[in-house]
Amino acid sequence: MNHLILLGAPGAGKGTQARKLQDERGIVQLSTGDMLRAAVKSGSEIGKKAKAIMDAGKLVSDDIMIAMIEERVQQPDCKKGFILDGFPRTAAQAEALDAMLAKLGLALDHVIEMTVDEKILTERIVGRYTCAKCGAGYHDAFQKPKVAGVCDVCGSREFTRRADDNAETVRTRLDAYRKQTQPILPYYRTKGILKSVDGMAEIDDVARQISAILD
Ligand code: AP5
Ligand code: MG
Task: Compute the distance between CA of residue 28 and CA of residue 84 in angstroms, rounded to an integer.
Answer: 9
* % of the chain exceeding 90 in pLDDT: 98
| pLDDT given at position 186 | 97
Question: Angle, nearest 10°, between helix axes 62-72 and 45-56?
Answer: 120
For residue 145, the tally of other CB atoms under 10 A from its CB is 16
pLDDT for position 100: 96
Query: Atom of ligand 1 at shortest distance to CA of 169?
Result: 25
The set of residues, in sequence order, having a beta carbon less than 8 Å from that of 157 and lying 6+ positions away, is 149, 150, 151
- Ligand 1 pocket, mutate which of 19, 30, 32, 41 (most atoms under 8 A from CB): 32
Looking at residue 182, its pLDDT comes to 97
pLDDT of residue 113: 98
pLDDT, mean of residues 2-11: 96
* Model confidence pLDDT, tens digit, residues 114-170: 999 998 999 999 999 999 999 999 999 999 999 999 999 999 999 999 999 999 999
Single-letter amino acid code for the residue at 62: D
- Residues labelled catalytic: 14, 89, 128, 162, 173
Judge whether residue 108 has pLDDT over 90.
yes
How many Å apart are CA 215 and CA 213, to the nearest integer?
6
Give residue 79's pLDDT: 93
pLDDT for 166 equals 93
Over 80: is that where the pLDDT of 23 sits? yes
Task: Tell me the three-class secondary structure of the chain, residue by residue.
Answer: CCEEEEECCCCCCHHHHHHHHHHHHCCEEEEHHHHHHHHHHHCCHHHHHHHHHHHHCCCCCHHHHHHHHHHHCCCHHHCCCEEEECCCCCHHHHHHHHHHHHHCCCCCCEEEEEECCHHHHHHHHHCEEEECCCCCEEECCCECCCCCCCCCCCCCCCEECCCCCCHHHHHHHHHHHHHHHHHHHHHHHHHCCEEEEECCCCHHHHHHHHHHHHC
Residue 96: pLDDT over 70: yes
Half-sphere exposure of 64 (CA within 13 A, CB side): 17
Q: How confident is the model at residue 1 (pLDDT cuts 50, 70, 90)?
A: low
pLDDT value of residue 9: 97
How do 137-139 and 82-85 pair as beta strands?
Answer: unpaired
Residue 125 near residue 164, CB atoms below 8 Å: no
Looking at every residue in the chain, the average pLDDT score rounds to 96
Instruction: Give the C-alpha distances (Å, rounded to integers) separating 129 from 67, 90, 155, 200.
Output: 29, 27, 15, 19
Q: Which residues line ligand 1 (CB under 6 A)?
A: 8, 10-16, 32-33, 36, 53-54, 57-60, 65, 86-87, 89, 93, 124-125, 127-128, 137, 139, 142-143, 164, 173, 199, 201-203, 206
